[in-house]
Amino acid sequence: MAEKSKFNITFDDRDLEDQQFTRIIPQDNNTATYTPAKTDSCTDTLNTDTLNTDTLNTDTLNTDTLNTDTLNTDTLNTDTDENNSCDCEAVEVREPADHARQKWSRPIEFILSSLSYAVGLGNIWRFPYLCYRNGGGAFLIPYTIMLLVCGLPLMFFELCLGQFGREGPITVWKICPLFTGIGYAMFMISFYIGCYYNVVLSWAIYYIYSSFTHTLPWTSCENDWSSEFCKQYSSRNCTLSGGLMNLTGTCIYPNMTTDEEWQSLNKSVSFLKSPADEYFHNHVLDISDGLHDIGGFQGNIVLSLLIAWIIVYLAVYFTATFPYLILIVLLVRAATLPGYMDGIAFYLTPDWDKVFKASVWGDAAIQIFFSLSPCWGGLITLASYNNFNNNCYRDAIVVSLGNCLTSFFSGFVIFGIIGFMAHELGLPVDKVAAEGAGLAFVAYPEAVARLPLSPVWSMLFFAMLLTLGLGTQFTILTTIITTITDDFPALRGKNFKWVLLVACGAMYCVGLSMATKGGMYVLQMMDSYSSTFSALMVGMAEVTVVTWIYGVDNFLEDIKKMLGFYPYPRIFWKYIWKFGMPLVVTTILIFSWIDYVPARYGDYQFPVWANVVGWMLSFSSVTLIPIVAIYKILWEKGPLVKMKIP
C-alpha cells in the first residue's frame, strides 16, 4: 500500500491521486458528506487520534471540493478487522458557521428574486418598441418559438448548473477546471453591467426627486436650461389641418408659402425640442458635444448615483411585486385616456408578412436571450443558494414565462400612454414612439406631464423604473460578491460587509465617469459593447463545455439526482442542449455581427477610436477563457477535465 495516498478516499475505485472527488447531496447548510470506497488497509496510514487540519497534507487533497478548515473525525469510522483492513464509512466535512453557505428560506424567495433579476428596464423600454416595429401581434410567434428553443432551455440549464454545484460562476466549473475562465468572463460581464446600470437608476432617482413639486420642471420652456428650439405649446389643431407651426407659434399652411419656403420651414421645425427632451439632455445630463468633451462632474448625478449605491448596499432582500402593482395602476389610468385604443391598436395589429423576414426572427432571438439575462452569472448564483432537491425545472418555466408576460403586459401600459400623447399632439403614433432612454426619460415624462396630478403619475412611473432596475442590480452585485467569497470562503461571515463595501465603492468610482457631461456617451459605449457579443460567446462556450466535454447524459443524470426524475421529455432536453442551443446561440452571434452598427447616440457618431475601445472592452472578458486555460495547463497539476463520476 506504499503507493497509495495516506488519505485514501476513493470513488468507484479511483484513488485520491486522480483527485476524483464529487460532493454527495449536502445534508444541511454547512455539511457535505463524501462516501469513500472500501480500501485494503487504512489503519496503517490513517490515525484518527492525531488527525487535524494542521497535519493534514492538503497538497494531495482536492481542496476545491473538500473544505479542510475543520474535519469532524468523530464521524470517520475505522473498524479494523484481523487482516488489518477497515471500512471507511463516511467523512463529514463541516465549514465554520461564519463560512457556511446560506440558503433561500422558501422556494418563493428564489422565484421572486430570479423574476426580479430577469425582468429589468429592457422589458419596459425595448420589447414594446420591437413588437410594433416587427409586425405587432405577429411578432409574438417568433418570440414564443425563440422562448421555447433558446430562452427556457438556457435558463433551465444555468439553474441546474448552479443548484447542483452549489457554487458561484467561477467555482462551479470544478466539473471542468480547464474552462474556469468562463466563470471569470461572467464575473467581468456582471462587473461592467453593474457599473453603468446603476447610473440609469440614478437618473430615475433624480426624476423622483424632481417630481416632488406642484408643476413638473419639464413642462415649460422658461428655464435656465431651455434653448431657442424649445417648444411647449400644442400643435395638435395645426397638424391635423395639414399645417406646420413655426418657432413663434404661428400655424403655416402650404398655400401660404412657396415650395422653397415650405421646405425651409420643414427643416427649421425638425430642430424643435420638447421641454421634456431639453430637461433630460440640457439639465439632467448637461450633455456635451461628444467623447472629446468629457466635461466636469454633474453634481446631481454624482449624488443620485451615490444614493443608488447606498440603497444597493443596504438592501438584503427585495421583492419583485412592487413594479407589477405600479404597472397595473398605470394601465388602469391609461385606459381612461383619449387615444389609448389607438396606441394599443398600433402595438398589436399584426403584419403577417414580417413573420417571414429573417431580421424579425433575429430580433426575437436577441430579445429573448438578453431579457432573461443568462451568461452573466446571475442565474447560476441565485440557483446556488437553493436546496439540493428544489424543483428548478418548475422555477425555470415560471420565471421565463413570467418575464415574457411582463414584457407583453408592459406594452399595454407604454403604448396606451403613447397613444394618448399622439392624440394630444395630433401626430401618428409612430412619430411619438421611441425606445431605450428616449422612451423612459423623454417621451413618457412628456406624456405624463399632460395628465392631471402629473407629479403623482411621474413619481409612480419612475419609482417603477427604479424598483425594476434595483431587482436586476441586486443580483448583479450578489453575483460579484458570491464569486469572490466562493473563491475565498474566509471573506464570508463577519468580513462580508467589507467585501460588499469595497465592491460598491469600486463600481461607484467607475460609474463616476458616466456622471460627467460626456458621461452619456461613455454609458452608450459600455452598453453597446460590454455585454452583447461577450455574453453570446460565453453562452456558446458554457453550453459546449457542459454538453460535449462534461457530457449531456452525465448532466441529465445530475438533474435526476436533484429532482428525482428526468426533465420531460428527456430526449428533447438532450438534443436541444447538445445541438439546438449551440446552434441557436451561434446563429444569434453571427446575426449580431452581420447586423452590427457602430455605437451612436442620437445624431452623434462615435469616433473610430471609441469603437475600438468598445471592442477591447467586449473581448476583455471573453479572452479570460483561453488565458485561464493556458494558465491551468502550464502551472496547475491534476486533471484538466474532471468528468462526472457515476
Q: Which residues are annotated as a binding site for Na(+)?
A: 118-119, 123, 371, 403, 468
Cα–Cα dist 271/252, whole Å: 17
DSSP code, position 93: E
* DSSP code string of 560-589: HHHHSSPPSSHHHHHHIIIIIHHHHHHHHH
Q: Which three cell numbers stand for residue 509?
A: 468610482
DSSP code, position 70: E
Cα–Cα dist 603/290, whole Å: 11
Give the chain's largest Cα–Cα span.
115
State phi, psi for 101 to the nearest 5 degrees: -85, 130
Cα–Cα dist 64/473, whole Å: 29
Q: Which of 417, 476, 467 is nearest to 442 (CA)?
A: 417
Q: Which three cell numbers stand for residue 56?
A: 493534514
* DSSP β-ladder status, 91-94 and 31-34: antiparallel
Q: Which of 231, 214, 160, 30 is nearest to 556 (CA)?
A: 160
Q: Which of 14, 19, 6, 5 is nearest to 66 (CA)?
A: 19
**Annotated binding site: which residue ranges?**
118-119, 123, 371, 403, 468
Cα–Cα dist 586/590, whole Å: 6
Q: Taking the mean position of all CA atoms in its chain, how far away is CA 41?
A: 52
Cα–Cα dist 154/160, whole Å: 10
Cβ atoms < 10 Å from Cβ of 582: 18
Asked if 23 and 35 touch (Cβ cutoff 8 Å), the reply is no
State phi, psi for 32 to the nearest 5 degrees: -130, 130
